Structure 1
């Protein structure tokens, strides 16, 4: 992983943008959307920025850049001019103050980079190639834009409004997580057009109760991770415990739920002990074994399993 992905809170935080051209327009627009207090330093600025300044949405210092333009209060500095020497000077000045700085289209002079974004209100998806292939990133973004439903913003706002009240009905974190898994997997929710519809489904789901029953789902891995079925991926995201053979490729394990416990095994007896303990706790378990292994057939009895590429 070349860059650590991070969403930064810029609401009501001071940010400096050096430059007033087309690139500055894009950056200032994004910064204002994030609630930043933007100051622009440039002898002249684009008409779009002029309009923002006139509306008092950002501040303009109308003169050439100098080192004393950078104040320690800034949390970010952006160098967006078409003069590399000036941009590099901005970088040096910012670093002297310990401020994060981005010199646009100049990776060696960037403490951070900005990804391509898919926005659905509270839901944001960031995509980056580390500067290697902007066109590839754009293609990925276009794919996601066509797949993700437009009502994600509505659903996210509704879920946020219930963060406190749901605790009265479901006191434990585990109960609430399972409730939201059931709720969000409903086709009624995914097709909802209004908050009233979401509220109706919410009340109905609470009355129905939370399915806290455990499961054991076996996934027989092979050489091609792309042969995993959607059903397998769904179980992998719901599992509380991932049991995997020591030879299982990490790519399979890494697609599992991030906060699930991950435990390796190397023999059927070792796995049997771990499965027995998990079942006694009524946990949701996914087990990864090789598609070429027949050593675990008895343990699989009465459980559900999938081979890579199988239809489900």
Structure 2
């Protein structure tokens, strides 16, 4: 993984865009939506950029780029012209000034790249191949767009509005996380049409003294993570801690919830006491074990075991 994925807060942050064509239009539109203070440098600009400038949404400097325009106050620089020599000069000036720079469609001259984005209000999904296969990424985006509900933004806004209230009801982050997991699984919430339905579901659940479940699930690994059952994937996303055999391919471990604690072992008996302690603490546990291991079969009493799908 060459590029580290992150979302950067550009609200009221100065950004320089060199170029005024269609490529610049696409970049400036996204930057303005993110709240950046955009400066465009180009002797001519597309009508869209002119309108943004006239409405005060960006600043247009109608001249050719010169090094003196590269000020260290900028947090990002974009070179979007159709002149590679000029773009590379912008890149050099930005690097000398210690500013992150992106030369559009010229990956070797990019400190960062922009992914394909699915936008649902507060919820954003970014997809990237590191610039190697835009067509593949477009296909993945189309698939995700088709399955991601349009009310996702509404759900995110509702949850944000309840941040203070939920803290009054639940003291710990873990309790709040488990509450929201139950909330977002409710059919009324999944199919909600307005905030009244969400409020009704919220009040019913928060006053229902819902019991948060704990579990210890043993998942047998193999060579191919794609053979994991859907049930295993759901449990892995809910787990708070994962124990895994060092022989387990990391493709399995990487599918567990990102903020779950991870503990590796050579033999499961090495961590048996830790597993028992976590179970007593009512945590949700996943243990990846080698299918032919006899050790774990002595420890799994009362727990669920999930096997990989068999390929015929």
Instruction: Please give the range of the TM-score, normalised by the shorter of the 2 chains.
Output: over 0.9
Which of 206-215 and 160-169 deviates more? 206-215
> Normalized against structure 1, the TM-score is what?
0.95
Structure 1 CA distance for aligned equivalents of residues 147 and 261 of structure 2:
30
* Aligned match of 1:86: 86
* Aligned match of 1:106: 106
Residues 217 and 304 of structure 2 are in contact (CA less than 8 Å); yes or no, is this contact kept in structure 1?
yes
Deviation at 1:297, TM superposition (A): 2.3
Which of 28-37 and 267-276 deviates more? 267-276
Structure 2 CA distance for aligned equivalents of residues 126 and 33 of structure 1:
16
* Aligned match of 1:169: 169
Deviation at 1:35, TM superposition (A): 0.8
RMSD of aligned alpha carbons:
1.4
Structure 1 CA distance for aligned equivalents of residues 26 and 141 of structure 2:
18
Structure 2 CA distance for aligned equivalents of residues 237 and 139 of structure 1:
25
Deviation at 1:298, TM superposition (A): 3.1
Structure 2 CA distance for aligned equivalents of residues 61 and 271 of structure 1:
64
Structure 2 CA distance for aligned equivalents of residues 268 and 35 of structure 1:
51
* Aligned match of 1:47: 47
* Aligned match of 1:229: 229
Q: Does 1:184 align with 2:201?
A: no
1:1-312 map, 5 Å: 1-309=1-309
Structure 1 CA distance for aligned equivalents of residues 112 and 30 of structure 2:
15
Residues 15 and 38 of structure 2 are in contact (CA less than 8 Å); yes or no, is this contact kept in structure 1?
yes
Residues 16 and 39 of structure 1 are in contact (CA less than 8 Å); yes or no, is this contact kept in structure 2?
yes
Residues 70 and 94 of structure 2 are in contact (CA less than 8 Å); yes or no, is this contact kept in structure 1?
yes
How many residue pairs get aligned? The number is: 310
Per-residue deviation, residues 209-266 of structure 1 (Å, max 9, x unmatched): 2423321111111121101112111111111121122211111111111222212233
SS at match of 2:207: helix
Residues 178 and 210 of structure 1 are in contact (CA less than 8 Å); yes or no, is this contact kept in structure 2?
no
Residues 175 and 210 of structure 1 are in contact (CA less than 8 Å); yes or no, is this contact kept in structure 2?
no
Deviation at 1:299, TM superposition (A): 2.2
SS at match of 2:163: coil
Structure 2 CA distance for aligned equivalents of residues 172 and 297 of structure 1:
34
Structure 2 CA distance for aligned equivalents of residues 272 and 101 of structure 1:
50
Structure 1 CA distance for aligned equivalents of residues 59 and 270 of structure 2:
65
Per-residue deviation, residues 1-39 of structure 1 (Å, max 9, x unmatched): 110111111111111111111111110111111011111
Per-residue deviation, residues 123-161 of structure 1 (Å, max 9, x unmatched): 011111111000011111111101111111000001111
Residues 39 and 60 of structure 2 are in contact (CA less than 8 Å); yes or no, is this contact kept in structure 1?
yes
SS at match of 1:44: coil
Deviation at 1:268, TM superposition (A): 4.8
Structure 2 CA distance for aligned equivalents of residues 268 and 28 of structure 1:
54
SS at match of 1:166: helix
Which sections of structure 2, spanning at least 5 residues, go unmatched?
Answer: none
Structure 2 CA distance for aligned equivalents of residues 211 and 262 of structure 1:
25
